Amino acid sequence: MSMQTPNGFNLDDSGRRVVVDPITRIEGHLRIEVNVDDDNVIRNAVSTGTMWRGLEVILKGRDPRDAWAFTQRICGVCTGTHALTSVRAVEDALNIQIPENANTIRNIMQLALQVHDHLVHFYHLHALDWVDVVSALSADPKATSELAQSISPWAKSSPGYYRDLQTRLKKFVESGQLGLFRNGYWGHPAYKLPAEANLMATAHYLEALDFQKEIKKIHTVFGGKNPHPNWLVGGVPCPINVSDTGAVGAINIERLALVKQIIDQSILFAEQVYLPDLVAIASFYKDWTYGGGLSSTNVLSYGDIPEHANDYSASNLLLPRGAIIGGNLNEVHEVDQRDAEEIQEFVAHSWYRYDDESVGLHPWDGVTEPNYELGPNHKGTKTHIEALDESAKYSWIKSPRWRGHAMEVGPLSRYIIGYAQGNPEFKEPVDKLLTDLNLPVTALFSTLGRTAARGLECVWAAHKMSYFYDKLIANIRAGDLATANTERWDPSSWPTDVKGVGFTEAPRGALGHWVHIKDTKIENYQCVVPTTWNAGPRDLEGNIGAYEASLMDTPMADPEQPLEILRTIHSFDPCLACSTHVMSPDGEEVADVSVR
Amino acid sequence: MSAPTQALALGVGNLLWADEGFGVRCVEALAAEYEAPENLTIADGGTQGLYLVDLLREHDPVVIFDAVDFGDAPGTLRVVENDDIPAFVAGKKMSLHQAGLQDVIACAKLLGDCAQNMLLVGVQPVELEDYGGSLRPAVRDRIPDALAVAVEYFESQGLMLRKRSTPVASSVITPGLDLERYEAHRPDAQQACRIGDARVLNRTART
């Protein structure tokens, strides 16, 4: 059957159905189903979250000052950004003003998280969609060295370095026990890099793995410990003591010098390794223009990184805030998370129940009542679905909408909005990248555009860390050592019934926490996470979500090896619940693909 | 052995998912019940996946507590040493967040300086799919055994842990998430619905 969606996509589900479902202990978390036509081009796409997690379920009745610690456990990778969003939501509800230093330190921590997450995402998840590790084994180390030196002044680039690394890789692959990068689609026809570029990128995979441990130390310094740094409603939990004999955990000159050193290293790595790799890889995939989805029409960013404390308005946020609708870059709409008419979650195609499912609910009024039922045209059983029926409910993810529109969030959305606003910090690097690659601005609206924006943002964030570091030092020199406001720490000082909202730009997009505090306890807590925006299902009108839109019209070389699907979904940096790390003794197959 | 290095007791898992919290609860208890020497780091690794790689590179010996699916009877403790701990890097992931302990170990080995002496103390979970729930009794009862195994192992590596006469507040776990508060403040099922994905629930019934 063929139909057009209100947001402009032609769906046709008559062709073969391809199902990609990562098999994990809890039955996978994100599943993608597509229909391909006779030429293996994707003509229908269905994104489904296969696991339910509702934070409201575990936070209800708890102390709002503890909420950050719980939200930090939603996900092992986004810990800090959830914690920050949570303390902001509670501070908003209780009208707590944080000191300037606390804002600066939080910015440094959030930016460190951006740099860290982007780097690890690119090298350790996404790069392998473009880089064929097995091919790297046949590269010529000397030619690899020449290639590396032609694109970057990065020091580790001698023929000997690449030769040693290649030897190490070979040993590792041959050792059998480790079975490196098992289950990859190595040799897939969609891989286009020459062997030398593959070896260079694989080397940087290892260097990034080694370097990322440094970035985390910033969280240790300011958060007191790592993993799971501490956060605090009212500020940051680290006192500043510039004389060396301060309390344990205090920030002193030595700790600050370490932070400075790591920031400088981060800038160097982002500029001399990450960005050149990105350009080099992209130059071989210029004709792979797929995956744009909603990015050319509807993008949303809440904005983040407040220049000054306690002001979350657009003009005070260094990461862009706004919404673009219908591809009209001439108009960036204002966004208000408190407005009941703006952000709403719908459940027409989600496994939840509302009294009236024709309307959406603002998160403050959010309801999370499960209702697991399958549509009449599904295949399989309730406990073993072979194919979903997307005309009915088909996902544990709700459909958030901004003024009724499906939106894409993430680094690309932030860059498009910054570009549309004419902000040189975002426009100039984009223009330079496009010029270097000899591509038009429309090339941005693609899987590679998403990947490129993340790389550009990594560089931006590294520099901004440096900016806020200098700001912190200047403030300390001026004698301001305050890091926390504890005036309203005692619940007896709180109003009996209040609501608050906190937001950040998580590495993978707009993140909001809405909290309702009643009689000093949490009455309702709703998180709308970036992956809800991007991975959410259709809405009542039939508008498809960002993941679904991004897969449309993509040709697949071999539906049995859905590298193209992984490539595009990975470009969003999906975040799904992290409860599935339970080990099994043999390396289980991670993704299952079936073609019907 | 050469000069003594920093040792590590690492708990991994998601404490929001019932027995998935076993590893973290073990290190929480270890820090509360034992006096650790200076050269032992006790860490709650949560589900940080790849971000834990450096911990395995900077410490030796390492004891890892985790919920492990070895197909044993629920509540069974399994102790696995060094190369018997499975290590591989899986390719076809949907999300970085699927990175497991195997990947972490494989990455540390690939970088060439993974801890030489590693012990995995795993428990076969009874229940995972209870979001916001705590350890099941059969799993919780294994914590003392798991700690004893770890203490004995550390002793064999030259590290002495003394049991405290009275446990102290654990320095490892974030306050608010400590076992006692976590369990005491859980909303009841009437207040906050606990029913999840029917397939998930069925999965449990099958084990």
Cβ proximity of B15 and B182 under 8 Å: yes
- Decide if B193 and A370 are in contact by the 8 Å CB cutoff: yes
CA distance A307 to A507: 19
Q: Is the pLDDT of residue A272 over 90?
A: yes
What lies within 8 Å, CB to CB, of A560 at 6+ separation is A593, A595
| pLDDT above 70 (res A27) | no
Range ranked top by mean pLDDT from A53-67, A427-441, A559-573: A427-441
Neighbours of A473 (CB within 10 A): 16
Of A147, A177, A208, which residue constitutes the final position of a domain? A208
Tell me the C-alpha distance between A369 and A324, whole Å. Answer: 32
Query: What pLDDT sits at residue A579?
Result: 30
**What residues have CB less than 8 Å from A587, skipping those under 6 apart?**
A179, A182, A183, B86, B88, B90, B102
Mean pLDDT over each residue of chain A, to the nearest integer: 90
Residue with more model confidence, A390 or A368:
A390
| Mean pLDDT value of segment B69-96 | 73
Which tens digit of pLDDT belongs to each residue from A131-163?
998 899 999 999 999 999 999 999 999 999 999
For residue A232, what is the DSSP state? B
Identify the residue whose tokens are 């690394």: A165
A-contacting residues in B 21-80 (Cβ below 8 Å):
43-54, 57, 66-71
Q: Is the pLDDT of residue A583 over 70?
A: no
Q: Strand, helix or coil at B86?
A: coil
Q: What is the pLDDT of residue B127?
A: 85
Nearest-by-Cβ selection for B15 from A53, A66, A73:
A73
Report CA-CA distances (Å) from A265 to A112, A145, A212: 12, 22, 11
> Distances from the Cα of B118 to the Cαs of A4, A47, A506, B157, in angstroms?
57, 40, 35, 11
Q: With an 8 Å Cβ cutoff, are A27 and B46 in contact?
A: no
- Of A75 and A251, the structure prediction assigns the larger pLDDT to A251
Burial letters for A48-69: b for 16+ Cβ neighbours within 10 Å, e otherwise?
A: bbbbbbbbbbbbbebbbbbbbb
Contact criterion met (CB < 8 Å) for B196 and A370: yes
Mean pLDDT, range A266-272, rounded to an integer: 98
Burial B25-60 (b: 16+ CB within 10 A, else e): bbbbbbbbbbebeeebbbbbbbbbbbbbbbbbbbbb
A6 and A136 both lie in a single domain: no
At residue A549, the 3 state secondary structure works out as helix
Average pLDDT of span B171-197: 77
Q: Is the dihedral of CA B203, B205, B206, B207 positive or negative?
A: positive
Q: Do B45 and A227 touch (CB under 8 A)?
A: yes
Task: For residues A121 and A156, state if they share a domain.
Answer: no
Interface test with A, best of B22, B52, B79, B98 (most A CBs within 10 A): B98
Q: Among partner residues A172, A185, A580, which is closest to B110 by beta-carbon distance?
A: A172
* Same domain, yes or no: A230 and A160: no
Token pair in block for residue A288: 């792979």
Contact residues, chain A, for B89 at CB < 8 Å: 178-182
pLDDT at A335 over 80: yes
Q: What is the mean pLDDT of residues A561-567?
A: 89
Closest chain A residue to B99 measured between Cα atoms? A581
ipTM for the predicted complex: 0.83
- Name residues whose C-beta falls within 8 Å of residue B149's C-beta, 6 or more positions apart in sequence: B77, B79, B119, B121
Cβ(B39)–Cβ(B92) under 8 Å? no
Q: Tokens 């780091």, residue?
A: B41
Q: Indicate the residue of A22, A25, A583 with minimum beta-carbon distance to B86.
A: A583
CA distance A46 to A180: 31
Residue of A56, A581, A584, A593 best to disrupt the B interface, most CBs of B under 10 A: A581
- List the structure tokens of A455: 């790389």
In angstroms, what separates the C-alpha of A183 from chain B's closest C-alpha? 5
Residues of A in contact with B92 (CB under 8 A): 22, 183-185, 566, 590-591
Q: What is the pLDDT of residue B112?
A: 86
Touching check for B11 and chain A: CB below 8 Å? no
pLDDT band for position A249 (cuts 50, 70, 90) = low
Q: What is the DSSP string of B6-72?
A: -EEEEEES-TTBGGGGHHHHHHHHHHHHEE--TTEEEEEEET-GGGGHHHHHH-SSEEEEEEB-SS-
Top residue of A27, A57, A576 to mutate, by most chain B CBs within 10 Å, is A57
Verify cis geometry, omega within 30 degrees of 0, for the bond prior to B61. yes
- Provide the pLDDT for residue A592: 58
pLDDT in tens, A170-194: 888 787 654 446 657 888 888 999 9
The pLDDT of residue B202 is 34
pLDDT band at A104 (very low <50, low <70, confident <90, very high): very high
Minimal C-alpha gap between B193 and chain A (Å): 6
A314 close to A305: Cβ distance less than 8 angstroms = no
Furthest-apart CA pair in chain A: how many Å?
A: 73
Interface test with B, best of A78, A383, A521, A583 (most B CBs within 10 A): A583
Locate the domains of chain B by residue range: 7-206
Cα B104 from Cα B62, distance rounded (Å): 13
**Element at A506 (helix H, strand E):** strand A497-506
> Where is the domain boundary, A157, A181, A208?
A208
Q: Which of B89, B92, B199 lies at the smallest CB-CB distance from A27?
A: B199
CATH class of the domain whose range is B7-206: alpha beta
Residue B197 in contact with partner chain A when CB distance is under 8 A:
yes
Number of separate domains in chain A: 2
Q: Same domain, yes or no, for A411 and A387? A: yes
Query: Once rounded to an integer, what is the mean pLDDT over residues A204-218?
Result: 92
Chain segment A409-418, per-residue pLDDT in tens: 999 999 999 9
Q: What contacts 24+ positions apart, CB below 8 Å, involve B109-113?
A: B109/A172, B109/A178, B110/A172, B110/A178, B110/A180, B110/A206, B110/A209, B111/A206, B111/A209, B111/A210, B111/B53, B111/B57, B112/A168, B113/B57
Closest CB to A26 among B46, B174, B203: B203
Same structural domain, A124 and A137: no
Q: Of A208, A229, A258, which one is at a domain's C-terminal end?
A: A208
pLDDT tens-digit readout, A7-16 = 999 999 999 9
Mutate to test the interface with A, among B19, B52, B89 (most CBs of A within 10 A): B89
* Cα separations in angstroms, A143 against A157, A192, A198, A336, A477: 11, 17, 12, 53, 51
Write out pLDDT tens, residues B10-54. 998 888 888 989 999 999 999 999 999 999 999 998 887 778 889
Whether A154 and A272 share a structural domain: no
Q: Which of A84-93, A233-242, A366-375, B112-121 has the lowest mean pLDDT?
A: A366-375
In this structure, are A159 and A243 located in the same domain? no
Tell whether A25 and A144 lie within a shared domain: no
* Residue keyed to tokens 């993974």: B114
Length of chain B: 207
Number of Cβ within 10 Å of residue B116's Cβ equals: 11
pLDDT at A181: 64
Beta partners for A346? A399
DSSP 3-state of A459: helix
Which residue of chain B comes nearest to A57, CA vs CA? Answer: B192
Q: Which residue of B has its CA nearest to A592?
A: B92
What is the number of other CB atoms lying within 10 angstroms of the CB of residue A249?
16
The CA-based dihedral angle spanning residues A268, A274, A280, A286, taken in that order and rounded to the nearest 10 degrees? -140
> Does residue B196 surpass a pLDDT of 70?
no
Position A581 confidence tier, pLDDT thresholds 50, 70, 90? very low
Across the interface, whether the CB atoms of B192 and A72 are under 8 A apart is answered: no
**Rounded alpha-carbon distances, angstroms, from residue A229 to A81, A82, A224, B8:** 11, 12, 6, 18
Does B67 score more than 90 pLDDT?
no
Length of chain A: 596
Transcribe A47-80 into DSSP letters: EEE-S---HHHHHTTS-GGGHHHHHTTT-SSSHH
Tokens coding A251: 């920030």
Whether A108 and A149 share a structural domain: no
Nearest of A344, A326, A395 to residue A53 by alpha carbon: A395
**Model confidence band, residue B135 (pLDDT cutoffs 50, 70, 90):** very high
A144 and A19 belong to one structural domain: no
Q: Distance between CA A207 and CA A213 in Å, rounded?
A: 11
Q: Buried b vs exposed e over A395-426: b needs ≥16 C-beta within 10 Å?
A: bbbbbbbbebbbbbbbbbbbbbbbbbbeeeeb
> CATH number of the domain that A8 lies in?
1.10.645.10
Measured between CB atoms, does B106 come within 8 Å of chain A? yes
> Who among B66, B94, B198 is closest to A30 (CB)?
B94
* DSSP state, residue B164: P
Cα–Cα nearest to A124, from A207, A43, A67, A191: A207
pLDDT band for position B204 (50/70/90)?
A: very low
Chain B residue numbers with beta carbons less than 8 Å from the beta carbon of A181 are 89, 91
- pLDDT, position A593: 62
**Which range marks the domain in which residue A342 is found?**
2-128+209-287+294-595
Q: With pLDDT > 90 as the criterion, what percentage of chain A qualifies?
A: 72
Q: How far is B93 from chain A (nearest CA, A)?
A: 6
- Enumerate the H helices of A421-537 as residue ranges: 424-437, 447-477, 530-535
- For residues A169 and A312, membership in a common domain is answered with no
DSSP output for A272-306: IIIHHHHHHHHHT-TT-----GGGGT-EEE--EEE
